[in-house]
Amino acid sequence: MIFDSLIIRYQEVLHEPDMTRLRDAIALEIASCYWLGFGTKRDEALAKVWLAKHTPNQGFFDYRLTKLKNTLGSCYLWWTKLSQQLQIGHLDFTNDMQYYRDQQQTQAILEVERRELEDWEEVLGPGHFIVSSRSLAVCEKLINLGMQDEAIALTQSMYDRSEAVLPSDHVALNALRSSLVKLYLMEDRLTEARQYLFELHPELKDERSRVKLLEDVNDAVFLRDSANYILLAVLETGMKRYKKADTIYRLVIPRMCKLLGDRNLQCVRARYDWAMHHSYRGNYPKALELLDPLYKVTVSNYGETHELSLLVAQSRVEHQVRLRIYRKTWVGRFASRKFQMWFYKEPIEAAQAYLGNDHPYTIMAINRGVAALAGNLRYKEAIELAKCAVELVEKRSGKGSNAAEYQRGRLKLVQQSASLHGIFFTWGSWTLRSHEPWRFRGIPIWWKTTKFEPFKLDLTLDPNYRADNVTA
């Protein structure tokens, strides 16, 4: 039944230009089915035909074929995740925003999967590959929902139980280590991330031989570990060791793009991390140089409404405005402030419409809006927007979560800034406000108060919010 549904689904999306990722994943799943005899008669020739529909080049084809050969002896189906998603009627490989279009359905699916994970672990044990793959799938959904605390707790407990029954180099333990590195980096817990990363790749701990190791590793091993190499670069950036991080990016990303293609999602995310690396260093022109082609790739391949496209678009416009400000004189800083709300307002409204009010990227855009409002001394609007963000995060992740605590901290910071402004820069009915120059033939001769259009978060832009709050 699963195999038949894969064939039908492949035919449905065969000529859909925005379904490339789903089509490739289904082709790889069908190749695995033919190779293992899962749901059909085993046929190596047909497996290679379907595998060729997914692989962009010969090197990647050989790598995938080697993986299929290894799975035959272990009876391990690498792409069972897609089959699971087909069974519950939710296609993870289309667009991540579908997680947030129906919050009630998402929470119901997540609750069922967590109960199933407990049942599988009780029957098969914590070290079984089915338990490991299911736990990683649940963890990924928790991350996408912004529930990092729950994801860390689930993965860490699974790792601790698996470590007690599995050898230290077991593939399931390595997958859990990689997941923990990613989670701890998201929470800026660099010590824990470094610990698990070097448990996973002790050979990379020696910085003197790291470059030679990355250059000499063969393509199959490189593709297997490329995501971990990028995590190492992100870790080095977080520890402010920018030269070492830049060396890793320069060694890994060109080779990754050559083997997987520029449009591959893993390559897109790696290039975005590289752009953010330059941004952290203050090299905004270089960051924008990487973000411009990246924006074209994400929009053409995944569409304007994909969360990655929205994230790249936000970062790209942010860097454009930063360059516009810092390339000007000190007067230019005031002249450019009126542009700031334009590029914060549009991403907020777009993220609300396509991803939902409480999507992590929507919250990120709202936080940027709070910063822009506070930077223009519009503290009343900034506080209201920050309060709304706190409510959204508490509803999504819980009041006791780190995300909610972080959001409350941002609100408190804005309130303190507003109080200080009221004490030191307000006298009677007059207050210091943002000003812009009035120019005569390009020469500023007077400064006038900047007038802004009032901004308030419109929760009804989220289709789910409208559906839940419509009354007869």
Claim to verify: residue 301 and residue 373 sit in the same structural domain: no
* CA–CA distance, 420 with 412 (Å, rounded to integer): 12
Which DSSP string do the residues of 250-315 spell out, in sequence order? HHHHHHHHHHH-TT-HHHHHHHHHHHHHHHHTT-HHHHHHHHHHHHHHHHHHH-TTSHHHHHHHHH
Claim to verify: residue 333 and residue 318 sit in the same structural domain: no
249 belongs to a structural domain: yes
DSSP summary character for residue 467: H
Claim to verify: residue 356 and residue 462 sit in the same structural domain: yes
Among the listed residues 259, 297, 294, 298, the one whose alpha carbon sits nearest the alpha carbon of residue 95: 298
End-to-end CA distance of the chain: 42
Residue type, 373: L
Give the model's pLDDT for residue 107. 67
129 belongs to a structural domain: no
- Count structural domains, the chain: 2
462 belongs to a structural domain: yes
Q: Cα–Cα–Cα angle for 209, 214, 216, nearest 5°?
A: 95
Paired residues of 436 in beta bridges? 448
Could you tell me the residue range of the domain that residue 291 belongs to? 201-325
179 belongs to a structural domain: no
What 3-state DSSP class applies to 205?
coil
Last-in-domain residue among 325, 340, 373: 325
* CA–CA distance, 69 with 77 (Å, rounded to integer): 11
Surface-to-core class of residue 135, CB atoms within 10 Å of its CB (0-12 exposed, 13-18 middle, 19+ buried): buried
* CA–CA distance, 20 with 323 (Å, rounded to integer): 35
Last-in-domain residue among 275, 303, 325: 325
Contacts 24+ apart (CB under 8 A), 430-438: 431/377, 432/377, 433/377, 434/334, 434/337, 434/376, 434/377, 435/334, 436/334, 436/335, 436/337, 436/338, 437/331, 437/334, 437/335
**How many other C-beta atoms lie within 10 A of the C-beta of residue 121?**
20
Claim to verify: residue 420 and residue 313 sit in the same structural domain: no
Claim to verify: residue 287 and residue 344 sit in the same structural domain: no
Which DSSP string do the residues of 216-256 spell out, in sequence order? HS-HHHHHHHHHHHHHHHHHHHHTT-HHHHHHHHHHHHHHH
Claim to verify: residue 231 and residue 335 sit in the same structural domain: no
DSSP summary character for residue 442: T
Claim to verify: residue 342 and residue 251 sit in the same structural domain: no
Specify the CATH number for the domain of residue 252. Answer: 1.25.40.10
Calculate Rg over the CA atoms of the chain.
25
Residue 426 has phi, psi (to 5 degrees) of -125, 125
Give the model's pLDDT for residue 169. 82
Claim to verify: residue 255 and residue 354 sit in the same structural domain: no
41 belongs to a structural domain: no
428 belongs to a structural domain: yes
pTM: 0.64
Residue 399 has phi, psi (to 5 degrees) of -70, -25
SS3 labels along 29-49:
HHHHHHHHCCCCCCCHHHHHH
Helix-strand-coil split of the chain, %, nearest 5: 75, 5, 20
What 3-state DSSP class applies to 445?
strand
Stretches in the chain below the pLDDT threshold 70: 1-2, 18, 56, 67-109, 144-146, 305, 321-322, 324-344, 424-453, 466-472
172 belongs to a structural domain: no
168 belongs to a structural domain: no
Structure tokens at 279: 């941004």
Paired residues of 440 in beta bridges? 443
Claim to verify: residue 257 and residue 314 sit in the same structural domain: yes
Among the listed residues 188, 107, 183, 146, the one whose alpha carbon sits nearest the alpha carbon of residue 404: 146
Last-in-domain residue among 273, 291, 325: 325
* CA–CA distance, 356 with 48 (Å, rounded to integer): 41
Give the model's pLDDT for residue 253. 93
Length of the chain: 472
DSSP summary character for residue 430: E
DSSP summary character for residue 56: S
Q: Are 431 and 418 in contact (CB under 8 A)?
A: no
Claim to verify: residue 300 and residue 384 sit in the same structural domain: no
Which DSSP string do the residues of 276-287 spell out, in sequence order? HHHHHTT-HHHH
Claim to verify: residue 318 and residue 335 sit in the same structural domain: no
Claim to verify: residue 382 and residue 309 sit in the same structural domain: no
* CA–CA distance, 373 with 350 (Å, rounded to integer): 18
Give the model's pLDDT for residue 193. 92
What 3-state DSSP class applies to 116?
helix
